[in-house]
Chain A
Amino acid sequence: MAFTETKTKSDPDAPAPVEKDRLRKLLAQSERPAAPSAWAAARTFGWRSMLKIKHVPEQLSDILVFPILMLLMFTYLFGGAIAGGTGDYLQFLLPGIMVMSIAMTTMYTGMSVNIDIQKGVTDRFRTLPIWRAAPMVGYLLADVFRYAAAGVIMFGTGMVMGYRPAGGADGVLLGIALLLVFAFSFSWLWTWLGVITRSEKTVMSISMSIMFPMTFLSNVMVDPSTMPGWLQPIVKNTPISQLVDGVRGLFDGNVQSGAVTTTLIWCAGFIAVFGFLTVRAYNRK
């Protein structure tokens, strides 16, 4: 009882007293709404991530500035050396560098998952009677929004630099859509890592050691036919290369349905394998 009298006007940090009568009334309302559907729960988690972007906008700028730097750097620093001119090289590079930058920023998802677990927020979510994969799908929904923003900004910057898509608006939209589907699917690898590793630093270092070879051993920067013969079949068949072929084809109006199909199969595989592993590890944590 004494605590209600300890409230003083002079101390602005003093917490207001707990109002027991109101608390009792709230406790007595025990009617329970029906549990949210899987999709509603996932959307709510997506809303949470969007709020985090609102409160911590720096995280968005990281993801937007990095791709633009990549685009400028590779076009103007290496363009001349690789393709003998920046204009032609940009025409080749843009779809690939979009894939590379966005694929690399997917790593942040694993770190967010891990930080939530470290901080204990996840404990609360796990005692809720909701679809077990909802928190993960929620992260990814907001991330897809960020990737879309990054994609649009990179593409716009490319246009300013002189890029012209022969595939027209339809081709570009389909290309970006394919890229987003891939980013969503591939991210399940990171959510899994985020759940099973001990710290965000571990997540980061493992992600880097996967991402660097994966994006550089590809057709993003150079045509694989310039590589040694033994390396070519490997490089041509990585999921990143297939995705780049798909996106580049759509942008250029020269659709490679084989590459698009292969990419979609990879996507289904990533979701099936790492989605399963993520949810299993999350439940057993």
Chain B
Amino acid sequence: MTNRDTAIRAEGLVKHFKDIKAVDGVDLTVPAGTVYGVLGPNGAGKTTTVRMLATLLRPDAGTASVFGHDITTDAAAVRTQVSLTGQYASLDEDLTGVENLVLLSRLYGYAKPAARSRAEDLLDAFGLSYAAGKQVKSYSGGMRRRLDIAASIIITPKLLFLDEPTTGLDPRSRNQVWEVVRTIVGEGTTVLLTTQYLEEADQLAGRIAVIDTGKVIAEGTPGELKSSVGAGSIRLRLHHSDQREHAQRVLAEALGADVELDDDPVALTALLKPGEDTATQGSHALGELARAGILVDDFSLGQPSLDEVFLALTDRVDA
């Protein structure tokens, strides 16, 4: 890939804090024009990685470039391409919403009237004009987050870092942030998004890197990550609990795979064979059950959830 279609290329990034290795050799290649998810539990090194890429921290080892500009030797050029919405809203709480945006617009070089109109347009677009004159102190979490993102696009960046943009938000605010992210990417900005939430990565990201204890432990599209753990499963609820053992035998024969009995006395789960089409295996299983006279109330067929992927990869209960 040339510089033009690679937004970030990082090789072996390392950062220590005293004797803690926060980031321990991270490699990333982020294609331009997409949402790239960096997924990991608390303390995995996501924020430190983002801070290095955004030129806020110098790596102890390794190299990285943003649109071809080295983050250490050419930091000033990187800063003209990126903007960062940090994990904690980087706003001045004493100032009002509009003052925050005017301040930053002025610092980007807008003259006073232009800064003012840019600030007001952004507040309008983000549905915040009703709170423009209020101190940011009084904003809710969702409002702060939106103002923070608004501040990040005063100048449309080529690359936007969003560090846990929805942590601590209620579902409605979270959906709004997702809409904003999709809109921003739709206009050609590359977004690097860190998150602890698998659903968020699944919803937004085209590719995902899973980070744990400072290392990338898996990378790929959400689909690739899911299939790396297993082919998925078919989950059934039967009409009669006394047919369950019969159903287990039928399924084991039909699919040639393990069939587990769930805690629920009418439910059972059959693992599908990797490498074969999920839909074919599912229909075949249902057909065999029907032929055996077993009544099925409900069934679901699917790939493993990212949750399962994540737990399998990180092998941690607290994730």
Residues of chain A having any CB pair with chain B under 8 Å? 2-3, 6, 13-20, 22-30, 32-36, 40-41, 44, 47-48, 51-52, 55-56, 116, 119-130, 284-285
A173 to chain B, nearest CB (A): 31
B99 and A119 within 8 A (CB): no
A33 and B108 within 8 A (CB): yes
Q: Which of B86-106 contact A (CB under 8 A)?
A: 86-96, 99, 103-104, 106
Closest to A32 in B: B155
Task: Chain B residues near A29: list those with CB within 8 A.
Answer: 156
B156 and A127 within 8 A (CB): no
Task: Chain B residues near A26: list those with CB within 8 A.
Answer: 121-122, 125, 153, 156
Supplied contacts A20-B183, A24-B183, A126-B56, 4 more A-B pairs, CB within 8 Å: A30-B156, A33-B109, A55-B96, A285-B57
Interface pick from B168-176, B255-263, B304-312: B168-176
A123 and B56 within 8 A (CB): yes
Determine the distance from Cα of A52 to Cα of B245 in the docked complex, in whole angstroms.
72
Task: Chain B residues near A33: list those with CB within 8 A.
Answer: 108-111, 114
A27 and B184 within 8 A (CB): yes
Kindly name the residue among B82, B83, B96, B175 whose own CB sees the greatest number of chain A CB atoms within 10 A. B175
Evaluate whether A19 and B127 lie within 8 angstroms (CB atoms) in the complex, with A27-B156, A120-B88, A120-B89 already known: yes
Kindly name the residue among B58, B83, B90, B143 whose own CB sees the greatest number of chain A CB atoms within 10 A. B90
Interface SS of A by simple majority: helix
Given A16, A124, A128, which contacts B128 in the complex, CB threshold below 8 Å?
A16
Task: Chain B residues near A27: list those with CB within 8 A.
Answer: 153, 156, 183-184, 187, 189
Task: Chain A residues near B129: list those with CB within 8 A.
Answer: 16
Determine the distance from Cα of A217 to Cα of B88 in the docked complex, in whole angstroms.
43
B277 to chain A, nearest CB (A): 32
Task: Chain A residues near B254: list those with CB within 8 A.
Answer: none
B104 and A3 within 8 A (CB): no
Task: Chain B residues near A20: list those with CB within 8 A.
Answer: 179, 183
Task: Chain B residues near A129: list those with CB within 8 A.
Answer: 76, 79-80
Task: Chain A residues near B91: list those with CB within 8 A.
Answer: 121, 124
A2 to chain B, nearest CB (A): 7
Task: Chain B residues near A28: list those with CB within 8 A.
Answer: 156, 187
